[in-house]
A and B are shown apart, each in its own frame.
Chain A
Amino acid sequence: MTLDELTRHALYPFQDFRENDASFLLLELYWTFIAEEALTPWPDLQLEPLQAADQDRDDWGSPNMLHFWAPALRRSVRVLLLENVGNFPPCRERQEKFNCFPSITLDFERQGITGPFDEVDQLLFRADVSSVSMEAVLWGIRYFIGEEASIESMEDAWDRYLIESGNGPSRAMRDEWYQKYLEEDDDDEEE
């Protein structure tokens, strides 16, 4: 089975993965295939898993789909499933970029390998099962792990993507939103 065949499978996009073991297996394969495809040009790069995919039967949300690291690079990748539980409209189809559904988000964080004292840089995606997310995750893994691109350059590229695609709030929009939110905090404190 290939990634293309998975996307044409009758169970795609595997939304019943919590109840249907077959869907969960295919969903797990889907993300594994994406990682493999992204890193095909680097066949000798050793990868090690950090955490298994989570079927999330109790519906805690944001289940882990993919989590691995490249010891030689001291970098890791984590993909959490993003579901449109609130039935928000797609961000790219509206002017307002908050309270909408972006399909995918990109962030960086630090990840401990054996404990909190041996952290490495980690690329973190929250992604739904869609062509938009698939292309973004392929790009992200390829550049962060394969090409060893800097975090700053990837953040800048991601911001340009958000501005041009409208698929979520840009850095400037986010900064403005939080500044306003925290100013409201000052008002609260004075009350």
Chain B
Amino acid sequence: MATMVAGAPLLAGGPPGWIAYAGLGVLTMSALILARNSTNTASQTSSSTREGTQECRRPWSVRVHAQGNIIGGHGRATLGAPAIVKPPSPVTVPEGLTLSASTYGMLTKRQKKRLSRAYEEAIKWIEERPPSGMLEKKSFYVAREESNDRIDVDSFGCTPNFIS
């Protein structure tokens, strides 16, 4: 908290004050290499799990949830049907669509109206996934502007969900 007290005046000052932060760090080649190594690690992990060469014991799971001010008065608010967790096999497209419909069904009439476009985009995205499926988090916003109202699809596992 004490840190924020020190940082807040710069922040409150808006962009001119924030310029001060730009000079705080010197990007070194070693830092860049570290960052790139991290990215490479992610790629290697992803590809090796697809090939089944890395031990991975986490179950497949998918969560579809509505988020944003429209859900609970602040950006952190979230609402969704219980996640699908499947230890033996990936979550399928039909299962993902059913889960999405369950989450949408939990919304009020007004929330549905607000999130209808985001929901339709999420459904379309799950349906049109490539045959190899997906393993990531994807957000679908009501519009691409200042709102934080959205539908999130979270796909976890050692290999992709939504394979066909």
Determine if B132 is an interface residue (Cβ-Cβ < 8 Å): no
When each residue 78-105 of chain A gets 1 if its CB lies under 8 Å from chain B and 0 otherwise, what string results?
1010111110100100000111111001
When each residue 57-95 of chain B gets 1 if its CB lies under 8 Å from chain A and 0 otherwise, what string results?
011010100011110010110100001010000000000
* A136-B18 contact, Cβ under 8 Å, with A86-B145, A107-B76: yes
Residues in A with CB closer than 8 Å to B73 are: 175, 178
Determine if A20 is an interface residue (Cβ-Cβ < 8 Å): no
CB <8 Å contact, B31 and A36:
yes
CB <8 Å contact, B7 and A143:
yes
**Shortest beta-carbon distance from A135 to chain B in Å:** 4
Residues in B with CB closer than 8 Å to A149 are: 1, 3-4, 7
Determine if A108 is an interface residue (Cβ-Cβ < 8 Å): yes
CB <8 Å contact, A161 and B141:
no
* A135-B25 contact, Cβ under 8 Å, with A109-B76, A175-B73: no
Tell me the B109-140 residues at the A interface (CB within 8 Å): 109-110, 113-114, 121, 125, 136-140
Which residue of A40, A49, A85, A168 contacts B42 across the interface (Cβ within 8 Å)?
A: A49
CB <8 Å contact, A169 and B146:
yes
Which residue of A47, A148, A160, A178 contacts B12 across the interface (Cβ within 8 Å)?
A: A160
CB <8 Å contact, A142 and B21:
yes
CB <8 Å contact, B75 and A157:
no
* A116-B63 contact, Cβ under 8 Å, with A2-B27, A48-B38, A149-B3: yes
Residue of A nearest to B143 (CB): A86
Q: How far is the CA of A107 from the CA of B148 in the complex (A)?
A: 8
CB <8 Å contact, B3 and A143:
yes
CB <8 Å contact, A62 and B109:
no
CB <8 Å contact, A157 and B4:
yes
Number of interface residues of A (CB under 8 A): 88
**Shortest beta-carbon distance from B38 to chain A in Å:** 5
CB <8 Å contact, B75 and A109:
yes
Which residue of B14, B25, B125, B137 contacts A40 across the interface (Cβ within 8 Å)?
A: B25
* A105-B58 contact, Cβ under 8 Å, with A112-B63, A116-B83: no
**Shortest beta-carbon distance from B61 to chain A in Å:** 5
**Shortest beta-carbon distance from A120 to chain B in Å:** 13
Q: How far is the CA of A49 from the CA of B45 in the complex (A)?
A: 10
Residues in B with CB closer than 8 Å to A160 are: 8, 11-12
CB <8 Å contact, B154 and A135:
no
Determine if A11 is an interface residue (Cβ-Cβ < 8 Å): no
Residues in A with CB closer than 8 Å to B145 are: 84, 86, 88, 99-102
Residues in B with CB closer than 8 Å to A43 are: 31
Can you name 5 extra interface pairs (CB under 8 A) apart from A131-B15, A149-B1? A33-B27, A36-B32, A48-B41, A101-B146, A124-B75
The 7 closest A-B pairs by CB, nearest first: A185-B110, A40-B25, A107-B75, A135-B18, A49-B42, A37-B25, A153-B4
| 12 residue pairs A–B, Cβ–Cβ below 8 Å | A32-B35, A36-B31, A40-B25, A49-B41, A62-B144, A108-B75, A116-B85, A138-B21, A147-B3, A165-B15, A181-B70, A189-B109
